[in-house]
Structure 1
Amino acid sequence: MGKILIVDDTLFMRTLLKNILFSGSHDIVGEAENGEEAVEKFRTLKPDLVTMDVVMPKMNGIEALKEITSLNPSAKVIMCTAVGQEQMVKLAIKSGAKGYIVKPFQAPKVLEEVRNVLNQ
């Protein structure tokens, strides 16, 4: 399956996503806890897909998304957003995100979105 970089400022959320993705036979190649770290790890790890939290310190998810898509216009990034952040989702899609998943995460929906984006 895919090599995935998980980006979230909360260890609990990264661990939860990691467990869901492992259950779908995905390979977690790295984790980052802010946007700056995400861009650096994207450069070095070259993942097939990035799951990106929207709200993070140092550099938010939208800024990191723009940076990543400027490095690789075909980068596959799925935004992770809380319920009620529809405006952020629209901005993220306009900025190059290929999909989104909503917190609290439901494993089947996460795996389905990851599969759909990897197959784009």
Structure 2
Amino acid sequence: MKNLSVLVCDDSELVRKQMIEVLTLIGVENILEAYDGEQAVIICKKQKPDLVFMDIIMPKKDGIAALKQITQSNSTIKVVMASSSSSHSHLKKSLQLGAYTFIQKPISEKVILNIIQNLIEKRTIFSKD
């Protein structure tokens, strides 16, 4: 997990800090932070994180628009969409645009750990080919 780069994108500073705290506790050392979708797109182009936790409802550029731009410019970045509302239209649109998965807020440490472990296992499988 030390080599994994993770971007946390949420317009709530409290949510970002909580996510960063959990990521740090489980051993992620390279953590980036964005406060809206516009900033997330810029960071993804420059830093190319392995994984992005992206809020859907944000000012300037929402998570759906940011997801679309991120996956178009770099399909290897895995984007996990997060929302406090369980809108089926958001879920469907996110998955159509290439989201890695969709999770419900508040996000537990266990959910974050499972997503990261799943990603690492898949990367190991792909790197053996």
Whether these two folds match at TM > 0.5 is yes
Quickly say closer, same or farther: Cα 1:116–1:30, change in 2 above 3 A: same
- Bigger radius of gyration: 2
The answer to whether the aligner puts 1:100 opposite 2:102 as a matched pair is yes
CA distance in 1, matches of 2:120, 2:57: 24
Q: AA paired with 1:89? A: L
Task: Give me the TM-score of the superposition, normalised by structure 1.
Answer: 0.92
Matched, 1:29 2:31: yes
**Helix, strand or coil at the partner of 2:60:** coil
3-state secondary structure, aligned to 1:116: helix
- Measured in 1, the distance between the counterparts of 2:120 and 2:53 equals 12
What is the TM-score normalised by the length of structure 2?
Answer: 0.86
For the 8 Å contact 1:49–1:118, the answer to whether it is kept is no
Cα gap change, 1:115 to 1:83, in 2 (>3 Å): farther
Shift of 1:117: 3.1
SS state at 1:19 partner: helix
Secondary structure in 2 aligned to 1:51? Answer: strand
Question: Which residue identity lines up with residue 54 of structure 2 in the other structure?
Answer: M
Q: Which consecutive residues of structure 2, in runs of 5 or more, have no partner in the other structure? A: 123-129
- 1:19-98 to structure 2, matched below 5 A, reads 19-98=21-100
Partner of residue 16, structure 1: 18
Structure 1: runs of 5+ lacking an equivalent? none
Runs of 4+ in 1 over 6 A off after TM superposition: none
Output the CA distance in 1 between the equivalents of 2:72 and 2:120: 19
1:41-79, CA deviations, whole angstroms, 9 ceiling, x for partnerless residues? 111111111110000000000100000011112221111
The question of whether the paired residues in 1 share the 8 Å contact of 2:48 and 2:77 is answered with no
CA positional deviation for 1:29: 3.2
Aligned residues: 120
Q: Over aligned residue pairs, what C-alpha RMSD do you find? A: 1.3
- Judged with a 3 Å threshold, the aligned counterparts in structure 2 of structure 1 residues 115 and 100 are, in CA distance, closer, same or farther, namely farther
